[in-house]
Structure 1
């Protein structure tokens, strides 16, 4: 069961690095890389940064880039570049450059043959701490949030559709990078409407409150994918992800990580009655103090569920018509990073 990202969702997990020819650094930044550590295992020596992911077709308003990682204690600086090409001297639409060694400041800039005017703001990162970094593309510019809080805005100096790749480098442990929206697929390939896979149509909901509830306009459809990224806090006991049906509130798919029991229970409640539980898994991605990325794809016969890009389980439909599923509900001991479908 191979993982194929949903159209409009381009994730990378524990990314290793491929430097494009002539990759730009910072206007004054270090080129020193930091090895990547997997979030659910002891520190490993992998290929050093930089990490590069292509943006097929460029960026458009409404798209976003999500970066999750950790700032090591020895960090001097790192950067995220939205570059217009991989060749040496390519323009950079946004250069996002936290600097710890020169007054703890965040520098933003652009490069068009030469560096433009720097924009400075307070540094929102702390050494030794994990972070979530979101770049939201708007018609006016980039809105940046760090750890759920507004960080800064950067007005477009270069049209975002010229951006061809996101390039991350420096003193950083990069754990995931997701491109959300547009017509990209994993590996940077283009998505075409006649390929038979519907686009992810809802706006990304960043950091929604729990309990969370959202409606599927027109009901769930075949090949539709729901992406849930979240964090399991220390001391968590249990949480639930439910796909429910109409006024009956029957639950077509109940995903119940029981953190304190180290189980992930799946079930359905139809006509007010719970069915038989399914518990077997190849691995358990829901661990205290760790992030997870869950991709739930609806097929004609079953749900196919992946965690962090790896197969987790299949769940055969038990309800007569999955098109009656119209609500996603999440509650319990979980902190949500974003939900997209």
Structure 2
């Protein structure tokens, strides 16, 4: 069963290095580039470049370059006509050797805003025209788990559902405007803390309290329970899965797609489970609640 990404959400999972690919639709104000990875145990440096073309000598609008070299720092720069501009530096290292990280670049009219592990880190003022940035180039001492382009230009006949929410607090409550519809996809990205025991994601009917889909990762049991709460009673639990993406200290990327007869759930681009509708009037589902032992990075409903 093929993974279908949500409109305006263009992921690549486990890309190999060096990564140098076009930015879908080009870069524009309001877009974000989200990178999940793992810093090498022997990390010395890596870079993320926003590049103006695919040629080896193409100009670099923004160069982001963490360096472990005795004076741990992050260097920011641009390259034009083969020459580097004036370096900007921050003598702070938000990455840890051998540890997972999430790196978010959000494009504003004035800056590239850099957020690391949910914390604002730096703003780099535009030096070169934003609309000429066409490619993303990543290489160095790291392993990439995912690269996501968020809020870009959806393909024809697609529209974004609602505005994404970055790093929302838990418990989280979100309203599904217009209710749940067939082919609608909900994106939930987050991190499982090292002490986590369990958390829940509920697709609810606000007027009745019914839960059409209850997703309950239980790190203390090593499983993910699915169920429905209808007329005040829980149904039969479903637990069977091919793999479990919810490990302590791990980031996850959930894509929950509503079909006409079932929910189709993918984790990090891989099929996780299907859940046949037990609440046929799924269009009445108008709320999503997330609570428990989880840190949320991004929710798109």
Name the TM-score class by shorter chain: over 0.9
Distance 1:54 1:165 in 2: 4
Where do 5+ consecutive residues of structure 1 fail to align? 17-48, 185-190
Which residue of 257, 260, 271 corresponds with 1:297? 257
Q: How far off its partner does 1:192 sit?
A: 0.7
CA RMSD of aligned residues (A): 1.7
Match of residue 207 from structure 2: 247
Match of residue 34 from structure 1: none
Deviations 1:42-76 (A, max 9, x none): xxxxxxx2112321221122211111222224222
Match of residue 88 from structure 1: 56
SS for the counterpart of 1:61 is coil
Aligned pairs (5 A) from 1:149-298: 149-183=119-153, 191-193=155-157, 198-298=158-258
Q: Is the 8 A contact 1:200 1:340 kept in 2?
A: no
Which residue of 86, 108, 119 corresponds with 1:138? 108
Where do 5+ consecutive residues of structure 2 fail to align? none
Q: How far off its partner does 1:102 sit?
A: 6.4
- Does 2:283 align with 1:319? no
SS for the counterpart of 1:15 is coil
Match of residue 6 from structure 1: 6
Deviations 1:265-302 (A, max 9, x none): 11111221222222211111112222211100111221
Instruction: Say if 1:67 and 1:263 are closer, same or farther in 2 by CA, change over 3 A.
Output: same
Which residue of 76, 87, 97 corresponds with 1:108? 76
Distance 1:73 1:287 in 2: 20
Deviations 1:225-252 (A, max 9, x none): 1111112222322110001112212111
Q: Is the 8 A contact 2:71 2:91 kept in 1?
A: no
Distance 2:39 2:262 in 1: 40
**TM-score, scaled relative to structure 1:** 0.83
SS for the counterpart of 1:7 is coil
Q: Is the 8 A contact 2:24 2:149 kept in 1?
A: no
Distance 1:237 1:134 in 2: 27
SS for the counterpart of 2:36 is strand
SS for the counterpart of 1:294 is strand
Match of residue 334 from structure 1: 294
Q: How far off its partner does 1:160 sit?
A: 2.4
Q: How many pairs were matched up?
A: 299
SS for the counterpart of 2:85 is coil
Distance 1:98 1:235 in 2: 29
Distance 2:250 2:172 in 1: 20
